[in-house]
Chains A and B, each alone.
Chain A
Amino acid sequence: MFGLTKRDTTLLLVVAVLTIFAPFILNPFPEGSAMAQFNAGYPDLMQRLVIFGIFAIGFNILFGLTGYLSFGHAAFLGVGSYAAIWMMKLLTMNVIPAIMISVLVAGLFSLLVGWISLRRSGIYFSILTLAFAQMSYSLAYSVLTPITGGETGLQPKVNDPRILDAALTEGQNPRANLFGLEMGTSYEMAVGGWIFTFNAGYYIAAIVMLLAFYLSIRIFRSPFGMMLRAVKSNQQRLNYTGLNAKPYTLAAFVISGMYAGLAGGLLVAMDTQVGAERMFWTASGEVVLMTILGGAGTLIGPVLGAGFIKYMENIVSKINKTVLEQWFAFMPDGIEDFFITIVYPFVGKGWHLTLGLLFMMVVIFLPGGLVQGGQKVAGLFKRKKPVDDKPDGKTTPAE
């Protein structure tokens, strides 16, 4: 189906079902219960999960396939965001032109950065991309203030030109919309103790993510994707086989830059503001972590990694001392204090510590990321099953 093999179609459908039912899946605990703070089914976080999923899917096309490690992809996300917000200021609050222009501008910018950075490989390539991203960040903060809003950033104002939209009266706020459907629109469904929120912005982002994911499967399975894997495997052989590695890597770089721009445009569509900190090097580092944590070079890995990190960032960081005291309240006083002291550094503001430890464990024990972990678990179950479903002993050949 959709020009994919059976296995890839299954994967796509599973991801589609998960994203469509995410408001249920991410809200497993009833409202008001002690576990309710682990619920991630609120619009802002769900939007971030899928948007950063897109960012990581695109990054994986470059890093996962070619092995070129870019440390500057946040720059493309930032540039895409600025482009989108200017569309909203000048043209219309409709998100379609904003998202389209963010992809286009990020693509052009990544063409320039890639064309220069890809003159080198390995660590030198990484440093060049990092330098470009930090330069963009500094410029956005200083000389480019007229375009970027400097420290205050940009957001749509009532008196912006917006030539396609009707003028707003004083007191009205410009809201991002899709032909009138506002991104912030939500429908809440209460079932027993649970409240499930269905948000228009989330579903639009989710559809874009599914399209982006589908496109990445096609790229992975195409001759182009195979050439990119060949670049990673043995660039020397590729050159001596009459293939020019440079345009292949540049195309991968631009495609991943466009994915980053798409993510940036969607971020603006959901939350109409941009600041330069979006381009800071830690943001570039985050997408590297997402991809490696989930499993670089795998299809679903980056989405998992992005979801995992964004979930931790928003949920684990919310756990504070009061919450811990509630959890351990059943213990005798002395032991309770002891446990709180031990756990406290790993939650709240210390969530990075937990993430760092997890990242180390994944890199050491599961170099293939969470996907490899999943495969290992699946392997354990398979071995227990008797082999009766395939009597001829035939196995499907690797793709």
Chain B
Amino acid sequence: MGILEVKNVGKRFGGLQALGDVNLSVAERTVHAIIGPNGAGKSTLLNCLVGKLIPDTGSVMFDGQSVLGRRPHEINQMGISRVFQTPEIFGDLSVLENMMIPCFAKRDGAFELNAISSVMSQKDVVERARHMLDEMNMADKQGMHASSLSRGDKRRLEIGMCLSQEPRLLLLDEPTAGMARADTNNTIDLLKQISEERDITIAIIEHDMHVVFSLAERITVLAQGTPLVEDTPDNIKGHPKVREAYLGETQTAA
């Protein structure tokens, strides 16, 4: 059984059936990609996993526990961290502060009224945040305003923030969208390194086939709200159903 088990999940927005009947199993310590054309329901599925949306039908189990009905911060505390399509960081805070917040969340839980002692006196958290910035090769930027970072650095910081919580499952929503080629390759290398060095499962939603085939061990193809196939990258490449979903039914392109 996988660490993430999605069973018969359906979600309808008014007249639109965004997700039909999705079954998905993500095995522990793998990199699992979910691909599909625009409007296939990838983002809807992701939002159902992190508590932003509640599916109409079906169940989502993480490590044997249901995530349905739990709020985003509760799901995060269970061990699921999410990286957004556009980097979501605390732009008004310094890079070090950005890294300290997930460290506090890891240490103190969802709420702690720690209003008298100064931030810098929390040595363990400061230490941890600095160490994490080191690992992300961002130690020299710790005093900067996070909003003044480059796009690639913002992405690095966001991934680092997620990793500092030591999540068991890392969800990435098109992590290289809108990135230059060099930044994309850096991100791929970073993710590869993470999946090799850490005890972590990665689920990734991606448009860019280069990214998908460089990283993924399993691929699920989603079209019109239902999974078409699930297989290894090599088998997906030539799969007729996948070509059909991406290129249209008839072979007019030829």
Binding site for B on A (CB under 8 A): 3-5, 218-219, 221-227, 229-230, 232-234, 236-244, 247-248, 251, 255, 397-399
**B110 close to chain A: CB less than 8 A:** yes
Listed residue (A243, A251, A255) with the most chain B CB atoms within 10 angstroms of its CB:
A243
**B113 close to chain A: CB less than 8 A:** yes
**B85 close to chain A: CB less than 8 A:** no
How many of B's residues come within 8 Å of A, CB to CB? Answer: 42
Residue-wise interface mask of B (57-88) relative to A, using a CB-CB cutoff of 8 A (1 in contact, 0 not): 00000000000000111001100011010001
> Are B92 and A242 touching (Cβ within 8 A)?
no
Of all chain B residues, which has the CB nearest A3?
B118
- When A221-B119, A230-B93 are in contact, do A241 and B114 touch as well, CB less than 8 Å? no
> Are B111 and A222 touching (Cβ within 8 A)?
no
**B117 close to chain A: CB less than 8 A:** yes
Residue-wise interface mask of B (103-118) relative to A, using a CB-CB cutoff of 8 A (1 in contact, 0 not): 0111011111111111
> Are B88 and A233 touching (Cβ within 8 A)?
no
> Are B115 and A226 touching (Cβ within 8 A)?
no
- Complex interface: chain A residues within 8 A of B90 (CB): 229-230, 233-234, 237-238
Given contacts A222-B116, A223-B119, A242-B77, 19 further A-B contacts (CB under 8 A): A5-B118, A221-B118, A221-B120, A222-B118, A222-B119, A226-B93, A226-B97, A226-B100, A230-B93, A233-B93, A237-B84, A238-B90, A239-B76, A240-B72, A240-B73, A241-B76, A241-B101, A243-B101, A247-B111
- Complex interface: chain A residues within 8 A of B111 (CB): 243-244, 247-248
- Complex interface: chain B residues within 8 A of A255 (CB): 115
Q: How far is the CA of A244 from the CA of B165 in the complex (A)?
A: 15
Listed residue (B73, B91, B114) with the most chain A CB atoms within 10 angstroms of its CB:
B73
Q: How far is the CA of A248 from the CA of B106 in the complex (A)?
A: 16
Q: How far is the CA of A399 from the CA of B120 in the complex (A)?
A: 9
- Complex interface: chain A residues within 8 A of B117 (CB): 3, 222-223
**B50 close to chain A: CB less than 8 A:** yes
- When A241-B165, A244-B110, A248-B111 are in contact, do A226 and B119 touch as well, CB less than 8 Å? yes
* A229, chain B: closest CB distance, angstroms: 6
Q: How far is the CA of A242 from the CA of B50 in the complex (A)?
A: 11
> Are B143 and A241 touching (Cβ within 8 A)?
no
> Are A242 and B73 touching (Cβ within 8 A)?
yes
> Are A223 and B92 touching (Cβ within 8 A)?
no
**Can you give 26 A-B contacts (C-beta < 8 A)?**
A3-B117, A221-B118, A221-B119, A222-B115, A223-B115, A223-B119, A223-B122, A225-B119, A226-B104, A227-B104, A229-B90, A229-B97, A236-B88, A237-B90, A238-B73, A240-B88, A241-B76, A241-B101, A241-B102, A242-B102, A242-B165, A243-B104, A243-B105, A244-B71, A251-B115, A398-B143
- Complex interface: chain B residues within 8 A of A224 (CB): 112-115
Binding site for A on B (CB under 8 A): 50, 71-73, 76-77, 81-82, 84, 88-94, 97, 100-102, 104-106, 108-122, 125, 143, 161, 165
- Complex interface: chain B residues within 8 A of A225 (CB): 115, 119
Q: Which of B88, B104, B105 contacts A234 (CB 8 A)?
A: B88
- Complex interface: chain A residues within 8 A of B119 (CB): 221-223, 225-226
Q: How far is the CA of A227 from the CA of B89 in the complex (A)?
A: 13
**Complex A-B, nearest 3 residue pairs according to Cβ-Cβ distance, in ascending order:** A242-B76, A224-B115, A233-B90
> Are B118 and A218 touching (Cβ within 8 A)?
yes
- Complex interface: chain B residues within 8 A of A219 (CB): 115-116
> Are A233 and B91 touching (Cβ within 8 A)?
yes
Q: Which of A223, A232, A234, A397 contacts B89 (CB 8 A)?
A: A234
Q: Which of B84, B89, B110 contacts A242 (CB 8 A)?
A: B110
* A395, chain B: closest CB distance, angstroms: 9
Of all chain A residues, which has the CB nearest B122?
A223
Q: How far is the CA of A238 from the CA of B101 in the complex (A)?
A: 8
Q: How far is the CA of A398 from the CA of B64 in the complex (A)?
A: 45
- Complex interface: chain B residues within 8 A of A399 (CB): 120
- Complex interface: chain A residues within 8 A of B113 (CB): 224, 251
Of all chain A residues, which has the CB nearest B90?
A233
Listed residue (A223, A225, A233, A247) with the most chain B CB atoms within 10 angstroms of its CB:
A223
* A118, chain B: closest CB distance, angstroms: 14
- Complex interface: chain B residues within 8 A of A251 (CB): 113, 115
- When A242-B77, A242-B110 are in contact, do A237 and B88 touch as well, CB less than 8 Å? yes
Q: How far is the CA of A247 from the CA of B115 in the complex (A)?
A: 13
Q: How far is the CA of A221 from the CA of B82 in the complex (A)?
A: 28
- When A226-B100, A398-B94 are in contact, do A243 and B115 touch as well, CB less than 8 Å? no
- Complex interface: chain A residues within 8 A of B165 (CB): 241-242
* A303, chain B: closest CB distance, angstroms: 20
- Complex interface: chain B residues within 8 A of A234 (CB): 88-91
- Complex interface: chain B residues within 8 A of A218 (CB): 115-116, 118
* B4, chain A: closest CB distance, angstroms: 17
- Complex interface: chain B residues within 8 A of A5 (CB): 118
> Are B114 and A244 touching (Cβ within 8 A)?
no
* B207, chain A: closest CB distance, angstroms: 21
Of all chain B residues, which has the CB nearest A250?
B111
* A250, chain B: closest CB distance, angstroms: 10
- When A218-B116, A218-B118, A233-B91 are in contact, do A223 and B104 touch as well, CB less than 8 Å? yes
> Are B114 and A223 touching (Cβ within 8 A)?
yes
